[in-house]
Amino acid sequence: MSDFNLKEFLDSKVELYNQPGFIANDPICIPHAFERRQDIEIMGFFAAILAWGQRKTIINKCRELIDRMDGAPFDFVKNHQDEDLKALLGFKHRTFNDTDLLYFISFFKYHYVHFDSLEEAFLIEQEHVTDVDIEKSLNTFKSYFFSLSDYPLRTRKHISSPLQKSTCKRLNMFLRWMVRSDDKGVDFGIWKKISPAQLICPCDVHVERVARKFRLITLDKVHWKTAVELTQNLRLLDPQDPVKYDFALFGLGVEREE
């Protein structure tokens, strides 16, 4: 299949999947339950980090978490007292437990005292915001996230980074949600300092399998360089918004499993 035809095919699949009907059965429905930017950021982050396993289970666990925070995540993060944290005890999704959750809440409280948006957490040490290096952003974000003195060692496994050679699928997905902006109503586009052109495509098993079929991935192992290779090839199709093809690759992968 030629590059032109591949672009035409994938563009058609982006149109098919990048529409409001996609939201209900995807973890992105969780931040879509909110209008306040900080609520969208907090629950978008949780939905992305907890996104492994069946999508229905992920969505249910995120809704449970919202209930435990009285339906108002940002207000809970900002104003909770120690007594309120008892409502979070016993929360668990796969290997993510209440120890991890309590630290996440501590980090969010610390961050929102100093900044109005979670976007700033991904811009640390970036000299020129107009030329954001996402690899550097993800590495410095992890350092910043675990900069509080009391972080549990077990919690580090839940935040990946390129330094670990991880594809950083969940964080890249979260960045896509926050940064991409179009008229389709799926991604939020509420962050303006990072450009869609700078994003790295989330690379999960569905995306990887389909991308290999189209030779958008040629590296044998799946690691950070694989996600970079995929994104570089997608930039040949759309330099300004390469990560929109996540919809096509993921949608095709899921469709062929069903």
67 Cβ neighbours under 8 A, 6+ residues apart? none
Task: Return the pLDDT at 257.
Answer: 55
CA-based nearest residue to 38, from 69, 82, 81, 84: 69
**Orientation of helix 205-213 relative to helix 245-255, angle to 10°:** 100
Terminal C-alpha separation, the chain: 25
Mean pLDDT by 10 residues, the chain (258 residues): 77 97 96 98 98 95 98 98 98 98 98 97 82 94 96 97 97 98 97 96 96 96 97 98 97 76
Task: Return the pLDDT at 125.
Answer: 85
- Per DSSP, the residues of 190-216 read ---SS-GGG------HHHHHHHHHTTS
Task: Return the pLDDT at 4.
Answer: 59
Return the domain boundaries, the chain. Answer: 3-255
Task: Return the pLDDT at 1.
Answer: 45
Burial class (CB in 10 A: 0-12, 13-18, 19+), 125: exposed
pTM, rounded to two decimals? 0.95
